[in-house]
């Protein structure tokens, strides 16, 4: 929650920004907004007209102004963890309110689609598989992040947080499909969702291999997996599940007949929705399998502990025989059986040994040893 002081500070910052930028003098914006090569947060900025990328490396203000003047034009600005002041400047230019700015810059967000006037905010969770030599109780298996797309009539602004989900390849592949790109800014939304779902499939396949390894070693007597390893993989799977499952309702809403999705893109979104459902089913099956492995492993641990207790009890019973006999003879009474006989000591030791051997054979036969 933002404090009152924080809101006042931001309002003052916005006021100063308006004074500096000169909202009424839009010709100054191209000089104040940095070009892609001048700002580390700007991954790329390009103007597209009828499915073709226009030459040059314009600033966002320049490209956005050109897109509004040209039919079938829009600009795609890619940002990586921008600062609040930088993103506020861009948001003011395209008419995005402060609440949307705060949500867009939040790092931990659930997948959602929100309409704010003429701007749609599409939030996705990114994911990537983390390579590891072996699964331990602290291994990181799935790394997640977030990407939010602000989609308007003539622009797309993508804001990414976290190391996963780079969109450079998405842009290059989309530029090789001019017919799809010509459908407008929502073609970028589809391309990003398609890539996220492809990554989900890849991560699910890699996680499946980890689950299979755990299943193979779960019932080994020696060198088997620990309960902590199973629990750690389950935690990582839950993190992955949080990225995948919440995306179903937004996609379902986007392909509904009442949505504002361009008709030419509806079939693309329906296809990616079907592939997302496949990932959801796979993740659910892995989660159930891990639950079964965990319960079976816990039962096996309990059984092993029970076997150990039986062995301890058997050896304690064997050791009790000589202890009892020695304890009796240690009372130092004058009248003890065979106390003054020459072979009495050997007889007592023999009785001890015979009783211990008999008990050992009985416990071995019953499976306690």
**Do 296 and 323 reside in the same domain of the chain?**
no
**Do 24 and 51 reside in the same domain of the chain?**
no
Find the CATH number of the domain harbouring 331. 1.20.58
Within 8 A by CB and 6+ apart from 325, the residues are: 348, 351, 352
Q: Which DSSP string do the residues of 202-269 spell out, in sequence order?
A: HHHHHHHHHHHHHHHHTT-SSSPPPHHHHHHHHHHHHHHHHHHGGGHHHHHHHTSTTS---HHHHHHH
**Do 146 and 249 reside in the same domain of the chain?**
yes
Helical packing angle, 227-244 and 186-217, nearest 10°: 160
**Do 314 and 222 reside in the same domain of the chain?**
no
Domain count, the chain: 3
**Do 345 and 277 reside in the same domain of the chain?**
no
**Do 158 and 208 reside in the same domain of the chain?**
yes
Report pLDDT for 39.
66
**Do 115 and 46 reside in the same domain of the chain?**
yes
Find the CATH number of the domain harbouring 198. 3.30.460.20
* CA 35 to each of CA 19, 32, 78, 211: distance values in angstroms, whole numbers, following the listed order: 21, 9, 12, 46
Of the candidates 271, 300, 329, which is a domain's last residue? Answer: 300
**Do 66 and 199 reside in the same domain of the chain?**
yes
**Do 314 and 287 reside in the same domain of the chain?**
no
**Do 113 and 189 reside in the same domain of the chain?**
yes
Range of the domain at 342: 307-366
Report pLDDT for 353.
85
**Do 334 and 212 reside in the same domain of the chain?**
no
The pTM score is 0.74
Q: Which of 33, 16, 164, 7 is nearest to 93 (CA)?
A: 33
Q: List the alpha helices (DSSP H) in the chain.
A: 4-21, 29-32, 60-69, 84-94, 98-105, 168-175, 178-181, 186-217, 227-244, 248-254, 263-329, 344-366
Report pLDDT for 100.
87
The number of residues making up the chain comes to 369
Identify the residue whose tokens are 């890539």. 195
Q: Mean pLDDT per segment of 10 residues, for the chain of length 369 residues? A: 46 44 39 53 91 89 91 93 89 88 85 89 92 83 92 93 87 93 93 95 93 80 72 89 91 86 88 94 90 79 74 82 76 64 72 83 79
**Do 269 and 252 reside in the same domain of the chain?**
yes
Of the candidates 248, 281, 300, which is a domain's last residue? Answer: 300
């Amino acid at each position: 929650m933002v404090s009152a002081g924080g809101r006042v500070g931001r309002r003052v910052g916005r006021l100063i920004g308006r004074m500096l930028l000169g909202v009424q003098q839009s010709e100054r914006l191209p000089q104040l907004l940095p070009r892609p090569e001048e700002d580390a947060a700007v991954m790329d900025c390009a103007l597209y007209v009828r499915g073709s990328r226009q030459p040059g490396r314009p600033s966002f203000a320049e490209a956005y102004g050109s897109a509004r003047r040209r039919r079938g034009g829009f600009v795609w600005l890619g940002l990586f963890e921008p600062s609040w002041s930088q993103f506020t400047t861009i948001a003011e230019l395209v008419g995005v309110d402060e609440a949307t700015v705060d949500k867009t810059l939040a790092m931990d967000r659930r997948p959602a689609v929100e309409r704010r006037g003429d701007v749609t905010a599409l939030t996705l969770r990114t994911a990537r598989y983390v390579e590891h030599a072996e699964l331990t109780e602290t291994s990181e298996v799935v790394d997640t992040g977030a990407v939010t797309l602000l989609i308007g009539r003539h622009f797309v602004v993508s804001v990414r947080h976290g190391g996963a989900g780079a969109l450079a390849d998405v842009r290059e592949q989309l530029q090789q499909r001019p017919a799809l790109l010509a459908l407008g800014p929502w073609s970028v939304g589809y391309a990003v969702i398609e890539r996220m779902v492809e990554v989900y499939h890849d991560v699910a396949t890699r996680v499946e291999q980890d689950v299979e390894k755990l299943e193979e070693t779960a019932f080994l007597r020696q060198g088997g997996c620990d309960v902590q390893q199973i629990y750690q993989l389950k935690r990582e799977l839950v993190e992955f599940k949080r990225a995948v499952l919440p995306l179903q309702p937004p996609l379902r809403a986007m392909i509904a007949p009442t949505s504002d999705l361009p008709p030419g893109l509806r079939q693309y979104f329906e296809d990616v929705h079907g592939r997302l459902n496949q990932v959801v089913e796979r993740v659910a099956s892995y989660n159930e399998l891990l639950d079964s492995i965990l319960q079976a492993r816990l039962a096996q641990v309990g059984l092993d502990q029970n076997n150990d207790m039986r062995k301890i009890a058997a050896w304690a019973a064997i050791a009790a025989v000589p202890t009892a006999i020695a304890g009796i003879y240690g009372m130092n009474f004058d009248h003890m059986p065979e106390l003054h006989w020459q072979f009495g000591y050997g007889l007592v030791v023999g009785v001890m040994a015979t009783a211990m051997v008999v008990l050992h054979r009985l416990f071995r036969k019953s499976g306690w040893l």
